C-alpha cells in the first residue's frame, strides 16, 4: 500500500532530516482483522474525545484513551478468542500505568507487560513483547495512528522507521506525535461541508478526504512560512506576515483554488 503522507514529507523541506519511508507499525500479525476490530470496539465504548489536551503547553503530558487502547492491544495479538479475553482483563490496569509521562512509563509498563504476556498463552505474544520492549520508549505516543494502521507490508520499511524513531529527541518526538495525531474534527468538517454544499448528507469518506486535504494544505502553508522566515532570518513563532507571504507563494504555484466569482464585500 502506498504511503502517501510519508512521500509528502520527503518532498518538502522540513525539520525531519531523514526521509521517513513508512509509517511505523507495531503489530507483528498485521493482517488480523481481530486486532483492528477489537480496537474499534474499545474505541466505541470509550467515546473518545477528539483531543483531551487542555492547552498546547500540556501537550506532552496528556495521555489519550486512544493510546491506552492501542497499547493494551499490542500486548498479545490474539490467535484465538481465549487470548482475546485474557488481554481484556489487562485493560483496567493499563490506564493506571500510563498516566505518568516520560521514562517512568517505560519502566512501569514493562513489568506490567511481562505480567500481561505471561498470562497470555500464545507463544507469539512473548516474541512480540520482546521486540516491542525497545519500541516502547519511542512509540508510546504514536499509538493512535498506529492502531488505525493496517499493515505496511514491507518489513524493511518498518525497520527503517523504527531506527529513525529510536533516534528522535524528545522535542522531535512530541512534534511528530502532534503531526500524526492532529486533525480536523470530523463532525465540524461535516457540518461545514453540509452548510457549504447545501446538502444534508455528507458521506463519511468525503469528510475524511476533505479533512486530509485541508491538513496537507495547512502543512504546505506552515512549511512555506518557515522557509520565508528562514529567508528573512527571523526566528520565533510564525507571524501572520509569514503566512501571508506563504499564501502568496502558493497562489503563484497554483495550489490555491481560484474563485470564479470575485468575493466582494467580505
Partner 1 sequence: MSNASAGPSSKAKTGSSHPSETSLKRKRGLFQKDLQHMMYGFGDDSNPLPETVALMEDIVMEYVTDMAHKAQDIASKRGKLLTEDFLFLIRNDLPKVNRCKELLSMNEELKQARKAFDVDEEKLAQKD
Subset of residues 29 to 68 that bind partner 1, contact rule: CB under 8 A: 33-38, 40-41, 50-51, 53, 56-57, 59
Segment near partner 1 (CB under 8 A); pick from 111-119, 127-135, 156-164, 230-238: 230-238
Could you tell me which stretch among 106-114, 122-130, 136-144, 183-191 binds partner 1 (CB under 8 A)?
183-191
Residue 206: closest CA among 216, 194, 224, 221 = 194
Within 121-140, which residues bind partner 1 (CB under 8 A)?
A: none
17 binds partner 1 (CB under 8 A): no
What's the closest the beta carbon of residue 183 comes to partner 1, in angstroms?
7
- By CB under 8 A, is residue 8 in contact with partner 1? yes
Letters for 62-101 (x = contact with partner 1 by CB under 8 A, - = none) are: -------------------x--------------------
**Interface with partner 1, residue 3, by CB under 8 A:** yes
List, in order, residues 6 or more apart from 60 with CB less than 8 Å away.
101, 170, 174
Q: How far is the CB of 89 from partner 1 (least distance, A)?
A: 16
What's the min distance (Å) between Cβ of 14 and partner 1?
6
| 119 belongs to the binding site for partner 1 (CB under 8 A) | no
- If one asks whether residue 186 binds partner 1 (CB under 8 A), the answer comes out as no
Check residue 199 for interaction with partner 1 (CB under 8 A): yes
Residue 185 engages partner 1 in binding (rule: CB under 8 A):
yes
H or E stretch covering 47? none
> Which member of 17, 47, 156, 240 binds partner 1 (CB under 8 A)?
240
Listed ranges 104-112, 127-135, 136-144, 198-206: which one lies at the site for partner 1 (CB under 8 A): 198-206
Identify residues 142-181 at the interface with partner 1 (CB under 8 A): 148-150, 175-181
- Three-class SS of residue 67? helix
Instruction: For partner 1, give the closer residue by CB, 26 or 129.
Output: 26
Using only C-alpha atoms, what is the Rg of the chain? 21
Judge contact between 225 and 246, C-beta under 8 A.
yes
Can you tell me the distance from the alpha carbon of 124 to that of 76, in angstroms, rounded to the nearest whole number?
A: 8
Alpha-carbon gap, residue 72 to 151, rounded angstroms: 18
Q: What residue spans of the chain are helical by DSSP H?
A: 4-11, 33-46, 65-73, 81-89, 93-97, 103-119, 123-139, 143-148, 155-166, 170-181, 186-197, 204-232, 240-253
Count the neighbouring beta carbons within 10 Å of the beta carbon of residue 219. Answer: 16
Task: Take residue 209 and report the three cell numbers written for it.
Answer: 478526504
Q: Between 35 and 68, name the residue whose CB sits nearer to partner 1.
A: 35
The Cβ-side half-sphere exposure at 104, using a 13 Å CA radius, reads 7
Amino acid at each position: 500500500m502506498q504511503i502517501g503522507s510519508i512521500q509528502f514529507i520527503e518532498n518538502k523541506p522540513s525539520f525531519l532530516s531523514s526521509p521517513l519511508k513508512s509509517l511505523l507499525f507495531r503489530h507483528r500479525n498485521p493482517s488480523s482483522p481481530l486486532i483492528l476490530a477489537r480496537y474499534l470496539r474499545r474505541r466505541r465504548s470509550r467515546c473518545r474525545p477528539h483531543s483531551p489536551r487542555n492547552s498546547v503547553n500540556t501537550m506532552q503530558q496528556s495521555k489519550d484513551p486512544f493510546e491506552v487502547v492501542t497499547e493494551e492491544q499490542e500486548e498479545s495479538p490474539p490467535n484465538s478468542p481465549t487470548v482475546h479475553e485474557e488481554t481484556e482483563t489487562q485493560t483496567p490496569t493499563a490506564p493506571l500505568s500510563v498516566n505518568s509521562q516520560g521514562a517512568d512509563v517505560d519502566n512501569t509498563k514493562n513489568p506490567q507487560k511481562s505480567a500481561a504476556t505471561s498470562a497470555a498463552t500464545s507463544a507469539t505474544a512473548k516474541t512480540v513483547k520482546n521486540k516491542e520492549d525497545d519500541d516502547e520508549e519511542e512509540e508510546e505516543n504514536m499509538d493512535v495512528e498506529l492502531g488505525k494502521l493496517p499493515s505496511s507490508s514491507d518489513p524493511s520499511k518498518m525497520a527503517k522507521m523504527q531506527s529513525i524513531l529510536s533516534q528522535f529527541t524528545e522535542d522531535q518526538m512530541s512534534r511528530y506525535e502532534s503531526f500524526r495525531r492532529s486533525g480536523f474534527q470530523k463532525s465540524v468538517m461535516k457540518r461545514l461541508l453540509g452548510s457549504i454544499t447545501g446538502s444534508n448528507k455528507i458521506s463519511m469518506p468525503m469528510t475524511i478526504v476533505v479533512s486530509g486535504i485541508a491538513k496537507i494544505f495547512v502543512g504546505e502553508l506552515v512549511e512555506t512560512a518557515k522557509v520565508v522566515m528562514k529567508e528573512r532570518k527571523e526566528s520565533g513563532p510564525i507571524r501572520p506576515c509569514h503566512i501571508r507571504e506563504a499564501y502568496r507563494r502558493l497562489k503563484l504555484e497554483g495550489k490555491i483554488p481560484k474563485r470564479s466569482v470575485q468575493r466582494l464585500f467580505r
